[in-house]
């Protein structure tokens, strides 16, 4: 539901990342890293992005979404594992004291622009 606000931020950040010296720029792709624990539905995000990107420098760009797994580390036995079920206790010693190493990302990793000289 908040994908519209997220999409607006993506347009803003991606637009600001375009180097000033490029004329007639065409942004082909925006590469995102989205953690599995982030509250994002890719389909809604793409839908919202298409709307807010209209008439901006990133209009028509594809959102490429890389899903980042939820990786955790146990603070007690130092085991590291990937959480695939909604259970946030150590899969070795059952401790509840865990640190999430990844899974909360909502990052713009890069943008790819059309390069007519390539």
Partner 1 sequence: MLIPGFRTLRYNHRKDFHKSPHTHSNGHGAGGAIKTSTREIKVVRRVLDVNDAMAARNRELFAEKNVFVLNVMSSPGSGKTTTLEKTLIRIIPEIKSAVIVGDICTTHDADRLSVTGVPVVQINTDEFGGDCHLAAHVIEKATDNLDLDTIDLLIVENVGNLVCPAEFDIGEDARVVVLSVTEGEDKPVKYPLMFRECDAALLNKIDLLPYLEYDKELAVKYILQIHPDMPVFEISAKTGDGLDLWIDWLKVRIKEKIS
Span 40-99, contacts to partner 1 by CB under 8 A: 40-43, 46, 62, 64-67, 85-89, 95-97
Three-state SS for 42-96 is: HHHHHHHHHHHHCCCCCCCCEEEEEEECEEEEECCCCCEEEECCCCCCCCCCCCC
* 111 contributes a contact to partner 1 by CB under 8 A: yes
To the nearest whole angstrom, how small is the minimum distance from the Cβ of residue 59 to partner 1? 14
Nearer to partner 1, 23 or 118 (CB): 118
C-alpha span between 64 and 108 (Å, rounded): 10
82 DSSP β-pair partners: 71
Residue with tokens 């036995």: 77
To the nearest whole angstrom, how small is the minimum distance from the Cβ of residue 99 to partner 1? 12
Residues near partner 1, by CB under 8 A: 1-2, 4-6, 9-10, 12-14, 17-19, 28-29, 31-32, 34, 36-43, 46, 62, 64-67, 85-89, 95-97, 100, 106-116, 118
């Amino acid at each position: 539901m908040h994908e519209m606000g997220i999409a607006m931020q993506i347009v803003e950040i991606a637009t600001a990342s375009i180097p000033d010296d490029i004329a007639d720029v065409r942004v082909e792709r925006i590469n995102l890293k989205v953690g599995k624990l982030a509250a994002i539905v890719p389909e809604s995000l793409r839908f919202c992005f298409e709307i807010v990107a209209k008439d901006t420098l990133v209009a028509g760009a594809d959102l490429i979404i890389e899903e980042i797994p939820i990786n955790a580390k146990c603070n007690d036995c130092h085991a590291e594992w990937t959480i695939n079920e909604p259970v946030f206790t150590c899969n070795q010693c059952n401790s509840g004291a865990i640190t999430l190493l990844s899974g909360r990302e909502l990052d713009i990793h890069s943008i790819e622009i059309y390069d007519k000289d390539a």
